[in-house]
Chain A
Amino acid sequence: MPNNKDYNRVSVLVVGAGPAGLATAIQLRTTKPEIDVCVVEKSADLGNHNLSGAVLEAEPLHTLLDSAAPGWQDTDAAKEVLASKIDKDDIMFLLGKKLAFNIFFAIKLAEIFRLGFGQMIHKGDYSVSISKLTKWMGRIAKDLGAEVLTGFAAEDIILDESSNKATGVKLVDQGLDKEGNKQPNYVEGEIINADFVVLAEGCDGLLTEKFIEKANLQRQSPQLYSVGVKELIKVSPEQYNKFTSGRVVHAMGYPIWRPVIGPGMFGGGIVYAGVQDHLSVGMIVGADWKYCDFNVQDALTNFKNHRFVKQFIDGGTVVEAGAKMIPEGGYYAIPREPETGSIGKGNVMILGDSAGFVNMLKIKGLHNAINSGMQAAKAIAETFNNGQQAASRYTELIDRSKVAEEMKSAKNFRQTVAKFGPLQGMPLSVFGGLLPEFKIEKDYEAMTVARYRLKPNHNFDKDTFTAVAATEHREEEPSHLTILDADICRTKCTPVFDSPCIAFCPAGVYETIGDEVKSANPSNCLHCKTCQRKCPFDNIRWTVPEGSGGPRYKRM
């Protein structure tokens, strides 16, 4: 490189090109075009690692784009991404394999009486592909002069001990062989120096969690997760018309919760109409399940076989699939600096799913992610010459925004369910903020020797699932999944729980080889990170593989 510019230095570094990080870039380039901003993303292409239902409450996006890209609504891209406006919103209660009751009226009633539940209404929102949304936002950010670079995976955040300030991030080393030896094409992970670091990595962010530990941020209550799996299914035009376009269905009950005689898990199924005869079918289950042989995909199989769902998808082709976790701990699980309460610290801000801005009453977080990105950009613009104030300014802005309002109203909904179980917890949650705060356990501590009673006869075909997720890592790189202590697996886990990771990993990464449990197929990994949150002995760590590895979602 002939000129002398330091290409390893940027003013604002955003880690993660999802809706939150890209909203930061877009807002910042709009407000202060003189500030350079660079977004790094580990996936091969924009949108490849984004998965969601996805129902988008569009207001924050409108606000963002109205100022950033006037006239955006008339563009082809906008029309494509926002093609499906929701005009039919059903909530079903499934009882057994065949019965389904529409309980939308109950939600409607809740809305009228302003109960928490009432927020679960999606009419007027959009049913979108978050992969496409992200790709589109990335283009807008680039058009505004932001650098959006895919294929670069960050491994660590660097803090300067003396000034208590983040100086930048380190990218992952590339070109190691399986044993960790340097190949001829080895490149040491570069250090990117930055004045501001925006952590927008999505759920359970690697740098976010490292930063929380290094900077001693605290969560009032541990983060709780759900695991979601989703399939995009091409159905016949008749089936699609029968389902009707513009319709979203949320289902509760079977197969993860049955009144009286379990199983008792939190969550539910979704069927969303996409475009051109495609339906999204998914299953989301709270990661505090207690069945050691449970796999969310088994629940998905049962859900797909339920008479109500089957009629719409029978004979269809799964064209894409994927899995991810959702941070559900809500308001109490937001990581904060203990003294000031800032979400982040100094020149580091934590956004979107990394912060846990999912409103569990709405079961939506996309709008909050975008909103938090806008607030981060405003905070940076205001504190550009005094970077150490960024996180606290950001937190002030968040507190004044709808993000905080929503998070507070949904406050301990999920914890109530986690504490008392779906049967008692759901009704109790009606009292919302009136309930005292209570201690809850981490998801992985919930594991027991109990078995999932509705386990399908056939093992879920994980190979096909990962194949349609188009996941891929360089086969020769070191495994990015580490089992910390093999003894624990051998002596404590396998004899008691029969190695739950083998069952629950949606990508079939874990296998028993010889008599040892290993992360045998790391190249199948979908980057959902369930393993590091659900291993009953907290014995697995997910690190980041080389850039461009992972799933290649295009329409998730």
Chain B
Amino acid sequence: MSNYIVLVKQVPDVSQITDNAFDPETGTLIRTRLASVINELDAQALAFANYMKKISADQGGKIIALTMGPPMAEEVLRYSLSRCADKVVLLTDRALGGADTVATANPLAFAVRKIVKEILKNNNDYYVVSGMQSVDGDTAQVPPQMAEELSLPCIAYATDAEYKNNRFEFTRIISGGSQVVAAKKLPAVITVAKYEYPLFATFAKTRWANETQVIRWASADIKATHIGVSGSKTSVIRVFPPGKSTRKCRQLSDVKSLAKALVDSFESGNGESGQDADAQRPRYLLPNKRASLLNRSFEGIKKEQEDYEILTDTLSELGITKVSQIDNTSKKKILDVAGEHFHKKALEDMINGLKLTEPTFKGEVWVVAEHSDGVVHPATFELTGKARDLADSLETKVGVCLAGYKVEPMAKELIAAGADNVYVIEDKLLDVFDPTAYRKSVADAISTYWPQIVLYAATPQGRMLAPMVSYRVGCGLTADCTRLDIRDSARKGDIALLLQTRPALGGNVMATIRTKNSKSQMATARPGVMKRIPPDKSRKGKVIKHKVQLSENDVSLEIIKTELGTGDVNFGAEVIVSGGKGMQSRDNYERLVGTLCEGLSKKLDTQIERGASRAAVEQGFIERVHQVGQTGTSIGPKLYVALGISGAIQHMIGVANTETIVAINSDPNAPIFKQCDYYIVGTVEDTIPQLVQALEET
């Protein structure tokens, strides 16, 4: 008799987001402008737990919904009760507020312990089920971190379950395919990537839910070890609106001009891909490399930067060139001039900061490699390139941690891609990716060498491994970064921090985050965003073998079947035509994408590849190997044509490096229209035949 503890979260209804939901000054979300709803994937997780209970013909199993949040989060618990939950627990306390993922996972794990003890009477036959990620945070870190705290196996990105031979087998998404796995021991944590049948409330259960007592626990009840702001290992430095997309977002009224735009942008190329501003910024210099310690051109936050500028200006007016020359008289003079900008305390902080020369973190810059079948994942090369850049600024080495079985041959390529040291962990038990075995190995290497930065690819594998490793070694982690910079935060006494910038709230805001209370700074970075550097075969590097004691007990998953997408897909093609849910059927996909590919290939005389959104793949319009996006492949063609694709963030980040994006969609409010270059509002059925004809005539 299995029991189910389902994690649910209350989130702002991001689907209803409009421009006026944001404070124009700070870029932060005005929470009251949006309705609060249950996180959609958590609603699916709840239904998934109910489905597991049903297929195992397990009448006695309990479903317990757990949430952490302000008192109003009780609403998602009522939601759960009105569907299928038997009991609900609300973890609410001011002390728990302001938490990052560590300080969220930790108290939730302690609450799970208390639930097991008090409600399940120490019955250890249970599953923790949760949505893969929340729509507001988008990190997918909390469930794996909880699994780590509770020492449980974690099966991420589940899409289906079957009950066979008295146990559950889960189908889950992996890069480029799917896999059927089972947990080798219980309990286990399951995260749900997609379950299409969220439950409906019934009238009777809704009334019952409104009468039912919610179990409320405060911080003191669960005795968690990492809570609130002080228990967090990352902190948000600033939130800002995403830079105006460099996309043109031009609506075209007829297919003729669309045909022309397609041909023109392919032939001329607009030269710039979506995000390339990174390369333009000057490289960070360590304090001892600067002309003067007073040179603070690399300060982090805008206000700090301005304050330092005012300070240095004032110092040069006073003829002061060295920090040691500043005495009480000069401080007084500075305050006379600049007192309206900052107070005495801030001045002291700044002067103390100016005296600092040593970086806060020490060690190499690491990348944790991802690979399959002896081939290194492209994202690993991209990250190695970025690590090279960061390490050069920091005057340290690039290390790549390569765990697996018979993986040493790949070290050469990694060195050519920019690595100085490749840390190889070889073990037969690492032959295929198992989250617990891998996290043990990688964490062991990290806590032996203590690099100052560790980067992982934000692939399904990396987003699973990174939270477990970081939690295990007690470090903060920022998910899905699109920008990584080294900056000082001298006022707080920190030099050469890794500033981690990522989109949040479905891409509606950007947040810059720093690591704290950690020995190493960790981040996952989106594939396709960082640039790999051209391989240099002449580069020299060392292979360092690291031995980790592993036993069968460290392997938590039994892999029953792996299905990787079949067929040759050339995502290196110059033009990619993708279809989404708007294609309605497999036949339509075949016919419409087919004719457009044909028409374009005739006109442009190049190879055209077919792509698809996740929705289209799930509907069975085309094989998974064609999937573009976060859980598919990230691409960067010259021309990307999106047909009937709404433009969910998970899809759009996969095409960020495209030169020109063209969209056709019947929904005038489709988000993709704000993230493309040219678009037409219209149904694919009507538009494509006309477009093909117009292409012939152009």
Residues of A within 8 A of B (CB): 1, 5, 7-8, 38, 40, 45, 147, 149, 151-152, 171, 174-175, 183-185, 187, 190, 192, 461, 463-464, 467, 470, 546-547
Closest 3 pairs between A and B when the two form their complex, measured CB to CB:
A7-B204, A185-B197, A174-B200
The one of A7, A175, A547 that contacts B205, using a Cβ cutoff of 8 Å:
A7
Flag if B208 contacts A463 (CB, 8 Å): no
The one of B16, B197, B207, B669 that contacts A149, using a Cβ cutoff of 8 Å:
B207
Flag if B206 contacts A149 (CB, 8 Å): yes
Flag if A1 contacts B197 (CB, 8 Å): no
Give chain A residues whose Cβ lies under 8 Å from the Cβ of B207: 7, 38, 147, 149
Interface majority SS (helix, strand, loop, mixed), chain A? mixed
Q: Name the CB-closest residue of A to B18.
A: A319
Give chain B residues whose Cβ lies under 8 Å from the Cβ of A467: 667-669
Chain B interfacial residues counted at CB < 8 A: 22
Give chain A residues whose Cβ lies under 8 Å from the Cβ of B208: 1, 5, 7
* A546 CA / B203 CA spacing, docked (Å): 13
* Most chain B CB atoms below 10 A, which of A1, A8, A147, A151: A1
In the complex, whether B201 has a CB less than 8 A from a CB of chain A is yes
Flag if A190 contacts B16 (CB, 8 Å): no
CB distance from B34 to the nearest CB of A (A): 12
* A536 CA / B198 CA spacing, docked (Å): 40
In the complex, whether B550 has a CB less than 8 A from a CB of chain A is no
* A149 CA / B209 CA spacing, docked (Å): 12
CB distance from A327 to the nearest CB of B (A): 28
Give chain A residues whose Cβ lies under 8 Å from the Cβ of B35: 45
Flag if A185 contacts B681 (CB, 8 Å): no
Give chain B residues whose Cβ lies under 8 Å from the Cβ of A184: 51, 197
Flag if A175 contacts B197 (CB, 8 Å): yes
Give chain B residues whose Cβ lies under 8 Å from the Cβ of A187: 199-200, 202
Residues of B within 8 A of A (CB): 16, 35, 47, 51, 197-208, 210, 666-669, 681
In the complex, 18 of the A-B residue pairs with CB atoms within 8 angstroms, ordered by the A residue number, are A1-B205, A5-B208, A7-B204, A7-B208, A151-B201, A152-B203, A174-B200, A175-B200, A183-B197, A185-B200, A187-B200, A190-B202, A190-B203, A192-B203, A463-B668, A464-B668, A467-B667, A470-B16
CB distance from A516 to the nearest CB of B (A): 15
Q: Name the CB-closest residue of B to A461.
A: B668
A-B contact count (CB 8 A): 56
The one of A1, A40, A546 that contacts B204, using a Cβ cutoff of 8 Å:
A1
Give chain B residues whose Cβ lies under 8 Å from the Cβ of A192: 203
Flag if A190 contacts B204 (CB, 8 Å): yes
* A185 CA / B196 CA spacing, docked (Å): 9
CB distance from A522 to the nearest CB of B (A): 15
* A149 CA / B198 CA spacing, docked (Å): 19
Give chain B residues whose Cβ lies under 8 Å from the Cβ of A175: 197, 200
Flag if B681 contacts A463 (CB, 8 Å): yes
| Known contacts A7-B203, A463-B667, A547-B200, then 12 further A-B pairs from the complex at CB < 8 Å, ordered by chain A residue | A1-B205, A7-B204, A8-B204, A38-B207, A152-B206, A174-B200, A183-B197, A184-B51, A187-B200, A470-B16, A546-B200, A547-B201
Give chain A residues whose Cβ lies under 8 Å from the Cβ of B203: 7-8, 40, 149, 152, 171, 190, 192
Give chain A residues whose Cβ lies under 8 Å from the Cβ of B51: 184
CB distance from B76 to the nearest CB of A (A): 15
* A7 CA / B204 CA spacing, docked (Å): 5
CB distance from A480 to the nearest CB of B (A): 16
Give chain A residues whose Cβ lies under 8 Å from the Cβ of B210: 147
Give chain A residues whose Cβ lies under 8 Å from the Cβ of B47: 185
* Most chain A CB atoms below 10 A, which of B47, B199, B207, B666: B207
The one of A45, A151, A185, A547 that contacts B199, using a Cβ cutoff of 8 Å:
A185
Give chain A residues whose Cβ lies under 8 Å from the Cβ of B202: 187, 190
CB distance from A243 to the nearest CB of B (A): 22
Give chain A residues whose Cβ lies under 8 Å from the Cβ of B201: 151-152, 547
Give chain A residues whose Cβ lies under 8 Å from the Cβ of B668: 461, 463-464, 467
* A464 CA / B47 CA spacing, docked (Å): 33
* A239 CA / B30 CA spacing, docked (Å): 27
* A297 CA / B200 CA spacing, docked (Å): 35
* A213 CA / B668 CA spacing, docked (Å): 42
CB distance from A131 to the nearest CB of B (A): 13
CB distance from A235 to the nearest CB of B (A): 15
* A400 CA / B667 CA spacing, docked (Å): 52
* A190 CA / B667 CA spacing, docked (Å): 35
* A38 CA / B208 CA spacing, docked (Å): 13
Give chain B residues whose Cβ lies under 8 Å from the Cβ of A149: 203, 206-207
* A5 CA / B681 CA spacing, docked (Å): 53
Flag if B198 contacts A185 (CB, 8 Å): yes
Give chain B residues whose Cβ lies under 8 Å from the Cβ of A147: 207, 210
* A183 CA / B16 CA spacing, docked (Å): 27
Give chain B residues whose Cβ lies under 8 Å from the Cβ of A1: 204-205, 208
* A41 CA / B208 CA spacing, docked (Å): 17
Give chain B residues whose Cβ lies under 8 Å from the Cβ of A45: 35
Give chain A residues whose Cβ lies under 8 Å from the Cβ of B16: 470
Assuming the contacts A1-B205, A8-B203, asked whether A463 and B197 have C-beta atoms less than 8 A apart, the reply is no
Q: Name the CB-closest residue of A to B212.
A: A1
CB distance from A403 to the nearest CB of B (A): 31
Q: Name the CB-closest residue of A to B208.
A: A1
Give chain A residues whose Cβ lies under 8 Å from the Cβ of B199: 185, 187
CB distance from A206 to the nearest CB of B (A): 17
CB distance from B379 to the nearest CB of A (A): 34
CB distance from B109 to the nearest CB of A (A): 28
* A124 CA / B201 CA spacing, docked (Å): 43
CB distance from B643 to the nearest CB of A (A): 17
* A463 CA / B35 CA spacing, docked (Å): 23
* A5 CA / B51 CA spacing, docked (Å): 26
CB distance from A36 to the nearest CB of B (A): 10
CB distance from B375 to the nearest CB of A (A): 38
* A121 CA / B207 CA spacing, docked (Å): 44
Flag if B666 contacts A463 (CB, 8 Å): yes
CB distance from B486 to the nearest CB of A (A): 43
Give chain B residues whose Cβ lies under 8 Å from the Cβ of A461: 668
